[in-house]
Amino acid sequence: MSSSYERLHDSYVSNKGRSTSCVALAVLLGCLIVLGVLLAIAVLKRPPPPKDHETLPQDNSGGNSSTNQCSMALVESIPIQMKYKANVTLGIPLEQVWKDLIAMATDQVDVVSFYWTLTGEDIKVNSSTDVPGRNILKELGELPSRNISVRVVTSVPSVRTNSTDLKILKQKGVHVREVNFGRLTQGVLHSKFWIVDRKHVFIGSANMDWRALTQVKELGVVIYNCSSVAKDLHKIFQSYWVMGQSNSTLPQPWPAKFETDINLDHPLLVEAENVSSSIYLSASPPSFCPPSRTQDLEAILSIISEAQHYVDVSVMEYFPTTRFERPLKYWPFIDDAIRMAAFERKIKFRMLISCGRDSDPAMLPFLQSLASMDNPHDDISIQVKLYIVPVGNQTDIPYSRVNHNKYMVTDKVAYVGTSNWSGDYFITTAGVGLVISQHAPQPEWKTKALQSQLRAVFDRDWYSEYAVNLTDLGHRPDCALST
């Protein structure tokens, strides 16, 4: 049996993605430098300068300017029975954000989720903690009666469940398409996002699962009144939607309507509430990205390479390998970028990796290898902790009680994604990332900048009772990586 919350579905998918390997040792500079060159030149196809903007004016800095309000906020789901100290930073509750998005919809709601299990019966569990999920399912199903179009995209199930959510929604007039990523890319559709009225957006770690509302620790971002971002995300939605047709085939190249004006080289520039933000969306897999779309791996590597002081990472899984293809392949790109930045540029890394009852113990040696580089004498700082959500009396609920976050925050950028950090998620599996760089004077930086709030959330978790150093792990029944 697989070893994580999402591997209930992932482990049944055999991804046979492309492998990557390190070139032979380079004289003096060594393999890491050569790998860095390969990343920049060969592996990643950086997007060319975009075409003339059709809808967004270009400013003198080479970015895209927008008059949208683009207010944004962190969104979190904290599992029941988890307690933090008073006066810590908390995101807006996920249930509240989803309910608000449904309530404010007037025209169209598009939802992408890996899978749907919004009631306890879907997984043969009788728990009152599924009530928020039931309510979301009910409210989504009522939208067509308000003359609001609802479209849902999900992955062709990689494991059979008892879920009736999509059947119920179809009966109420919701349009549903399942994308067979196994056939198209040998992966799955792992993205999770909402688009409401082409101007409001939610992106985060949460699937359409009642456990995401009460039993799993989730993190995302909601952006209101930001049609530029919403319309750009809609292009990604449309790529899934058209590939959800029977007998679809991947276009080569993607038609021009899927190209984007917003990417790493030309982010969207937004001014709101005295906070200046640069925003763009990244995506995977490469086969679903037109040349102008920044690939998710490129975004992550760029963020690490541009950090000047620190990089904080919180992800459910971290493997410098593939996970689902057979045979497994070594996939060192992110791992090498971390080691290089810490060793050569003295960037301080903090890695907060989830550990639950279903986590794969094979992850531990890779984390120990990273942590072994930590050397204060040489000013090399890579600290690794495991985040353990207490199971308590929730033992009857499978694939829950885990920190499902997938984000990174540096002194330059906030990144919130939908992918775990292992090879398949960037080679064959569909995911999206939201990249935000912000500037603001005090006190706006602390009170209004999402980037600052994300760092505060990371600090909250890093110093909490739930974060355990690898050297202090010992035997902990709620963490499969413990001895």
Catalytic residues: 190, 192, 197, 404
Q: Rounded distance, CA 200 to CA 470, Å?
A: 40
Give Cα 257 to chain centroid, integer Å. 25
Find out whether 162 and 124 touch, Cβ atoms under 8 Å: yes
Question: Tokens for 26?
Answer: 């380079």
Give Cα 75 to chain centroid, integer Å. 13
Q: Which amino acid is at 294?
A: T
Q: Rounded distance, CA 316 to CA 392, Å?
A: 20
Strand partners, 397: none
Q: Rounded distance, CA 395 to CA 390, Å?
A: 10
Find out whether 315 and 421 touch, Cβ atoms under 8 Å: yes
Q: CA torsion sign, 429 to 389 to 201 to 410?
A: negative
The owner of tokens 């209101």 is 224
- One DSSP character per residue, 319-387 reads -SB-SSSSS--B--HHHHHHHHHHHHS--EEEEEEEE-TT--GGGHHHHHHHHTT-BGGGTB-EEEEEE
